[in-house]
Amino acid sequence: CYPPSTLHAAGYSPSYSMAAQGAVVFDKRNPGALRELRPEELGGKTAKYTWKQTNWEIWCKVPVDAETTRADIQCCIKRRYFSLYVFGEKIMDGPLFDNIDQEESSWTLDTVDQGFPPRQEINITFIKEMETQGRNHWACIVEGEPTINTHKFGAPIKVINPNDRAAMKLLGDTSSDKERPFCNMRDPLATPGK
């Protein structure tokens, strides 16, 4: 966590226009500035699906045949496990990279193009149990699937408004408590799934 006053004191300008929950990195093209990452920059593509993420959410799109119905899809979303089969063919099956809120996570079958034949896709939304930032973002959705290089995102950066008393209290509490993840963000050194 870097409160804007700390960034400002270090020569980084806290005046930027981005959402408080946006993933940020130091901008290589503009030294001393922060840049918000688009969810697409934090995701990947495989032969069967594409995915992207923010600090709190992951979205996955799986293109399927036009004749696919909900009855042809077997999907299981659990706190630490995910499986998706279409017409009996495995798309993903195994332990998730980290924990999710299974009650808030969901999937839908959507028609994305009404043309002939219509184009359909399965849209899956995972809500992360803990916020991620920088190199702590998910490298894949399911363990064993192709990964992205999260180290290129650098150290986690948490921008805090110094006028937000709750955020400043959290900063102080997690800075002094070595048992809690810093600013309640995912700790890659901790054992996932706990």
pTM of the model: 0.73
Question: If you ran DSSP here, which 8-state letter would residue 173 be given?
Answer: H
Indicate the residue type of 105.
S
User: What is the structure's pLDDT at 192?
Assistant: 52
User: What is the structure's pLDDT at 190?
Assistant: 54
> Quick one: which of 156, 150, 139 has its CA closest to 26?
156
Maximum Cα–Cα distance across the chain: 60
Mean pLDDT for each 10-residue chunk of the chain (194 residues)? 34 37 73 80 93 95 96 98 98 97 97 89 96 88 94 73 72 58 54 48
